[in-house]
Structure 1
Amino acid sequence: MLVGGEVPVDSAFPEEAGAPFGGEDLKRLSRALADSLAGTAGIDAPAALCRACVDLLDVTGASVSLSGDTEAQMVWWSSDPVAAQLAETQYTLGDGPCQTALALAAPVLAADLTGGADARRWPVFAQQAVALGVRAVFSLPLQAAGLAVGTLDLYRDRPGPLSERDRSFAFPAADAVTTALLVLQAQEPPGVEAAWLEAAESDHEEVHQATGMIMVLLDLNPQQALARLRAHAFTQGQSVTEAAREVLAGRVRFDD
């Protein structure tokens, strides 16, 4: 299932505009993925695959976000500061293509955030994304056992859908990233949190701590407490991480 509006656009491969990969193309795809992993340590494999997406697809940047559920999201890798900020914006708002892809466990292709159906679906996110110079976002779930454990998020600095040919690369690349992450997890001893996952979670440890403080103070459940933190971040023009630091420093109390 694909979610999100799309409009015609010139393909990144003008000689075969919109054409899907054929047999020989798929062989080149496999070689490209293999080459991206050549000499790469296991811990770096997902990032290498993402870099291959940026190099070979008609996109501007990419990121990988990991999630235990639709409320907790950690940016594990990003190709550039805009990709990282785009992921943080969605985490702060609790809304956007990435959040929708996690909730539906389905690809969400937002081809034009400057107007139309995509801008109306996520109006606040679309406004902030455009302010970052982002015009299109394509979020592909990283699925394991029928559940989305994260997303591969591709963005472009101009509107337009992914061509059929780009989809033919991006979708198996997302599967390859998922496999690489699962292999990393399987290599960890039982009962020990994977080092790479712990590193990703450390970026949002302050959010978890601040959410816990709000839960105790206002007698809320985790979802309600995070919603209060997000609302405060939005009204103050902050990221949710910045708002969490304010709470932990005692500058925001939520006792009113």
Structure 2
Amino acid sequence: MTGPVPENGQHHDLVARLVAVLRATGGTAAVCTACHAVIPTVDGVGLTLFTTHARFVLGATGPLIEQIEDLQISLDQGPCLHAVHHRAPVLVDDLTPTDPRWPAFASHARRRGVAAMFAFPVLLDDHPVAVLDLCRTTAGPLSDTDRRQATVYAAAAAVLLRADADADHGDGAVVSASAARTQQATGMVMHQAGIDAAAALHRLRTHAFDQNQDLAQVVTDVLTRRLRFDPTPG
């Protein structure tokens, strides 16, 4: 599964060139789309941010990977969380519904058609701040070339996230349109229920999971005021 890895200097040059391209085409919000374009063998690419207060999907290239990212956050298990905890890539060539590492996630993911997942931690000073996730509906490993491409994109995401944080952009990320809508809905739930951002986002995800809906649909219902979250009794 492994192949020749670029020397450190070559790797840094590749990352620097990629960062320049991404900055010209949208910054952090462009990472997933650009990564998917160079790794078309996968069916989705997502980027999830981990902060001290919340876990947040910054971007996704389609509804499948967005569902999978939200599912991992809601269940608190999956390759994404494993990559954060171990600070190393997690490559799942054949996702079985009974995988003992994340049984609930694996079962739900397989029912959604996901057969393989590849999670690459985004590290700042050796500390995981995000994860770049790739999913596919057919089993099988990533090629050596695709694996190296994903590693470079994860490193570029780290550079962009650091720059965003230094520029004091909230939690430090320029988000996709979908993520921005989720942030807006989270703010509305905070106001309605009188809770903080982490709790509001958790209630959105829990409602989506309990109702077997996509988070995007729940967000739309909140933004259009078809759904309201009242304060929790007690």
* Aligned residue runs from structure 1 range 241-252, under 5 A: 242=218, 245=222
Cα contact 2:59–2:175 (8 A) shared by 1:
no
* 2:42 equivalent in structure 1: 59
Cα displacement (A) at 1:138 = 1.0
Percentage of pairs with the same residue = 28
**TM-score, normalised by the number of residues in structure 1:** 0.65
Q: What is the rounded CA distance, in whole Å, between the counterparts of 1:19 and 1:148 in structure 2?
A: 22
- Out of 112, 116, 126, the residue aligned to residue 94 of structure 2 is 112
**TM-score, normalised by the number of residues in structure 2:** 0.70
* Aligned residue runs from structure 1 range 72-83, under 5 A: 72-83=54-65
Q: Go from structure 1 to structure 2 and tell me whether the alpha carbon gap of 1:52 and 1:140 turns closer, same or farther (over 3 Å shift).
A: same
Q: What is the rounded CA distance, in whole Å, between the counterparts of 1:96 and 1:211 in structure 2?
A: 27
* 1:155 equivalent in structure 2: 135
Q: Go from structure 1 to structure 2 and tell me whether the alpha carbon gap of 1:147 and 1:75 turns closer, same or farther (over 3 Å shift).
A: same
Q: Go from structure 1 to structure 2 and tell me whether the alpha carbon gap of 1:132 and 1:36 turns closer, same or farther (over 3 Å shift).
A: farther
Cα contact 1:20–1:164 (8 A) shared by 2:
yes
Q: Is 1:134 aligned to residue 114 of structure 2?
A: yes
Q: What is the rounded CA distance, in whole Å, between the counterparts of 2:156 and 2:190 in structure 1?
A: 34
Q: Go from structure 1 to structure 2 and tell me whether the alpha carbon gap of 1:225 and 1:143 turns closer, same or farther (over 3 Å shift).
A: same
Q: What is the rounded CA distance, in whole Å, between the counterparts of 1:225 and 1:48 in structure 2?
A: 26
Q: What is the rounded CA distance, in whole Å, between the counterparts of 1:235 and 1:84 in structure 2?
A: 17
Cα contact 1:29–1:169 (8 A) shared by 2:
no
**43-52 vs 92-101, greater mean Cα deviation:** 43-52
Q: What is the rounded CA distance, in whole Å, between the counterparts of 1:110 and 1:175 in structure 2?
A: 20
Equivalent AA in structure 2 for residue 196 of structure 1: V
* Aligned residue runs from structure 1 range 152-231, under 5 A: 152-186=132-166, 188=167, 193=170, 196=174, 200=179, 203-204=182-183, 206-207=185-186, 210=189
Q: What is the rounded CA distance, in whole Å, between the counterparts of 2:18 and 2:87 in structure 1?
A: 29
* 2:84 equivalent in structure 1: 102
Cα displacement (A) at 1:103 = 3.2
3-state SS of the aligned residue for 1:121? coil
Q: Go from structure 1 to structure 2 and tell me whether the alpha carbon gap of 1:37 and 1:249 turns closer, same or farther (over 3 Å shift).
A: same
Count of residue correspondences? 227
Unaligned segments of structure 2, at least 5 residues: none
Cα contact 1:74–1:203 (8 A) shared by 2:
no
